[in-house]
Amino acid sequence: MTRDLTTRNDLKEIVDKYDTILFDCDGVIWEGDLLIPHVKEVLAGLRKMGKRFFFVTNNATKSREANKAKFDKLGIECHVDDIFSSAYASAAYLKNVLNFPAEKKVYVIGEKGIEDELDSVGIRHSGGTDPADNVFIDLMDFSSITSDPEVGAVLCGLDMHLNYKKIAKGCRYLRENEGCHFVATNLDSTFPTHGSTVCGGATIAPLITTMGRQPLVIGKPEAAMLESILKTYDLDKSKILMVGDRLNTDILFGVNGGISTMLVLTGINTRAEAEAEDAVAKPTYIVDSLGDFISVV
Amino acid sequence: MTRDLTTRNDLKEIVDKYDTILFDCDGVIWEGDLLIPHVKEVLAGLRKMGKRFFFVTNNATKSREANKAKFDKLGIECHVDDIFSSAYASAAYLKNVLNFPAEKKVYVIGEKGIEDELDSVGIRHSGGTDPADNVFIDLMDFSSITSDPEVGAVLCGLDMHLNYKKIAKGCRYLRENEGCHFVATNLDSTFPTHGSTVCGGATIAPLITTMGRQPLVIGKPEAAMLESILKTYDLDKSKILMVGDRLNTDILFGVNGGISTMLVLTGINTRAEAEAEDAVAKPTYIVDSLGDFISVV
C-alpha cells in the first residue's frame, strides 16, 4: 500500500528512517533549468543531517563531471561520486561486476559521456566519437566493416551520430567474438523533455533487430544500476530510499531493486496514475514535492 | 502436403498448370554474380511458351531500371515491368491501394531506389538522398527537426545513410501529422549474402521503437506486394506460382497470398528444413533446381 506523506510527522519519519537517498533529477530537483521550490534548501538540510546522496540519471551522453556542472550552476552541493549516470554505471558494471579483461576493449555506440566514463575506470574503447566511425559509407560498400577480435563488449547509448558503419561493426563483433557482451546504458525510447524526441532506446534498436538478441540494460528501471551502486559502496538496502517522478523508470527501478520508493508529483506522473489498479509500479510513499521536506530539515 | 518434383512428367505438369511465375532471384536464378546452371535456358524456354514473369525482390535500394541491368549483364531477357521490387511495390501500393493524395508528399528513409520509384508513379517526396538530411546534427541540437504538415507518409527501407536527423524527422511527422502512413519496404534484418550484414529491418527499427507502432510492410513475406501486383495486372491466382529459396520470405509470401509455391534447393533452405514439422511455411512443391526444367522447355 502506498502511503501519503502530508503531515510534518510523516516527513520527519522518512528523514529518520533512511540514510541514503537516490534521486532522479528532472522533475524532482529541477524542471529544465528551473529549480523546484525549496528543493535546494531541503538538499542542503539533508546533507547537514549526514544523509548520503546519489543522483541517478539515465542520461549517458554526459560524463559525471559534465553532469556535476549543472548542480554547480544551480548552487547545489554535489560531488562527482554522488552521480550515478547510466554511462558511469555501465563502465562500473563492466569493470566490477563483469570483471572486464584488461586486454579487451569496448566498442562504443554512443557519445563522449560513455567514453569518458570508460576512461575513468581504465577500460579501453573504440568507436564512439572516433571520426573514422562517424561517417556515411557508400551503398553496399562493406569494406570498412572489418573484424576486431579485441572487442569484448559492445556498449550502446543515445548516439546522435548513429550511422550504418557503427551499427554494422557492432553487429559484426557481437556475431564473431565469442562471449562478446551486449550492453545498453538505457532503453528510454523518448526524452521526457524535448518534445518526446528520439532517445537511446531508438539508437540501439538496429542492433537488437539484427542480432535478434536483447542487451543487458544498465539504466533505470533495470536492477543493474542499483547492483552497481551496492557493489561499489557498502550500503544497507533497508535504509535506502529512491525518489523520482516517473513510475515506469524511477519507481519501478526501486521496486526491481527491493528498496523503498517515493513518488513526487512535480514531474511526469500524477497521483491518480500511481493509484491506478494497473500502475506499472506502486511507490512506497507519495509526496507533493521534495520541497515539502523544508518543514523538517 | 509438399510434393517432390523429380520426373520429367512432374515438371511438365507444373509448366502446363501455371501461366504466371513469380521468381525470387538470389539463390534461384543466380548466386551472387554466377548464374545457376541451365536457368538461363529454362527462363528463355518458359518465355517462348508464353509464360508471364515477375521478378520479386525485397531489395529497395535499386530502381527497377537498375535491377534490370543485372539481368541484361547476365543475358537474361527482362523488362522493367517484369520487376517487382519492394521499392516499386511500395510506390505502387501508396498510389493504387492507398490512393495517396497529390498534394501530400512522402518522407523517405532509404536510398535512391525508393525515390526513383516514387518519381515513376508521380508521388512527391523529401528526405532520402537530400544532402540536407544526410548529415550528423550536434548533440542535443534539435533545431532542424521541424514540422512538415505536407508529409502524408513515412516510407522506410534499407538506408546506409541512416542518421539521427532522419529518424527524428520521421518520428515527428508520424506523431504530428494526422493519418500519416508508416510504411516499410521490407523488414529483412540481414542480407542473405554479404556475411549477414545489417539490412533494412535494422534501419527502420529506431522508428518502430520510438513510435511503439508497427509499419505496414510491403515486401516479402507480407501479402501487400502480391496485392500490389494483382491490383496492377488482372491475374488468376490459381495460375500463379511463386518460386524461391527461402521458406521465411519467398514461400511464406506465397502462402500468405494464397498462391502455389515451389522451393528450389539452390539457395538458403534445405529439403530437411522444408519438411520439418515446425517449418515456418510449407511449399506446394520442392525441386532441386530451377535448372531441372531444362528437360521440359
Domains and CATH numbers, chain A: 3-58+221-293 (3.40.50.1000), 92-217 (3.40.50.1000)
User: Is B132 in the A-facing interface, judged by CB distances under 8 Å?
Assistant: no
The reported pLDDT for the residue numbered A134 is: 97
Residue A192: pLDDT above 80? Answer: no
First to last CA, chain B: 26
Which amino acid, one-letter code, is at A135? V
Considering CB atoms only, which of A111, A167, A189 is closest to B198? A167
**Which of B4, B10, B16, B26 is the catalytic position?**
B26
- If you count residue pairs, one on A and one on B, with CB atoms under 8 Å apart, how many are there? 111
Averaged over B235-246, what is the pLDDT?
Answer: 96
Chain B from 3 to 62: CB within 8 A of any A CB = 61
For an interface test with B, the pick among A167, A209, A217 (most B C-beta atoms closer than 10 Å) comes out as: A209
DSSP-derived secondary structure letter, A16: H
* Cα→Cα distances A229→A187, A226, A233, Å: 19, 5, 6
pLDDT above 90 covers a percentage of chain B that reads: 82
**Chain segment B38-53, per-residue pLDDT in tens:** 999 999 999 999 999 9
Find, in chain B, the residue whose alpha carbon is nearest to that of A193: B140
**Which of B10, B16, B19, B24 is the catalytic position?**
B24
CB-facing half-sphere around the CA of A234: CA atoms within 13 A: 0
User: What is the C-alpha separation between A243 and A37, in angstroms, rounded?
Assistant: 16
C-alpha cell at A99: 570483471
Distance, in angstroms, between B172 CA and closest chain A CA?
8
Residue A194: pLDDT above 70? Answer: no
Neighbours of B54 (CB within 10 A): 20
User: Which residues in chain A have Cβ-Cβ distances shorter than 8 Å to B168?
Assistant: 197-198
Residues 6+ apart with CB under 8 A from B282: B1, B2, B251, B255, B274
**Chain segment B263-291, per-residue pLDDT in tens:** 999 998 999 999 999 999 999 999 999 99
User: Which residues in chain A have Cβ-Cβ distances shorter than 8 Å to B147?
Assistant: none
User: Is A205 in the B-facing interface, judged by CB distances under 8 Å?
Assistant: yes
Considering CB atoms only, which of A145, A197, A202 is closest to B145? A197
pTM of the model: 0.89
Find, in chain B, the residue whose alpha carbon is nearest to that of A188: B210
**Chain segment B139-196, per-residue pLDDT in tens:** 888 899 999 999 999 999 999 999 999 999 999 999 999 999 999 999 887 776 666 6
Residue B288 annotated as catalytic? no
Distance, in angstroms, between B72 CA and closest chain A CA?
20
A243, β-bridge pairs: A23, A262
The residue assigned the cell 516499410 is: B184
Contact B160 A167 (CB under 8 A): no
**Chain segment A246-256, per-residue pLDDT in tens:** 999 999 999 99
3-state secondary structure of B216: strand
Closest C-alpha among A6, A223, A198, A46 to residue B167: A198
Contact between B165 and B198 under an 8 Å Cβ cutoff? The reply is no
The reported pLDDT for the residue numbered A201 is: 86
The reported pLDDT for the residue numbered B169 is: 96
User: What is the C-alpha separation between A201 and A209, in angstroms, rounded?
Assistant: 12
Residue B24 annotated as catalytic? yes
Contact A160 B136 (CB under 8 A): yes
**Chain segment A9-25, per-residue pLDDT in tens:** 999 999 999 999 999 99
Averaged over B244-264, what is the pLDDT?
Answer: 96
CB neighbour class for A73 (10 Å; exposed up to 12, middle 13-18, buried from 19): exposed
3-state secondary structure of A182: strand
